[in-house]
Amino acid sequence: MMEDFIRRNIGAEYAGFYKNCSKQTKTNIDIEMLAYLTHADSEQPVSLREETVIKNGKIKKRYIIEADLKRN
């Protein structure tokens, strides 16, 4: 999904890079893209919320992106 977003909005070269990078790098890119979207000037604001959870005995971070869906 993020690869398609990058391809449409940034370019095929960057989408190819994203496709071929490691899972950890993809996660870092995803978080940075979401952080950018939460601070960008937009007619449809987006917010990012971080939660710390315990899953399978491990502490993990979960990121939740929220946006108001507007209907015309």
How far apart CA 42 and CA 13 sit, in angstroms, is 25
Domain annotation covers residue 24: yes
How far apart CA 69 and CA 33 sit, in angstroms, is 19
Domain annotation covers residue 26: yes
Domain annotation covers residue 59: yes
Domain annotation covers residue 48: yes
Amino acid letter, residue 46? V
State which residues form the domain around 31.
2-67
Domain annotation covers residue 72: no
pTM: 0.57
* Number of folded domains that form the chain: 1
Domain annotation covers residue 58: yes
pLDDT of 3 > 60? The answer is yes
Domain annotation covers residue 57: yes
Q: Mind listing the pLDDT tens digit for each residue in 48-72? A: 788 999 999 999 988 887 776 665 5
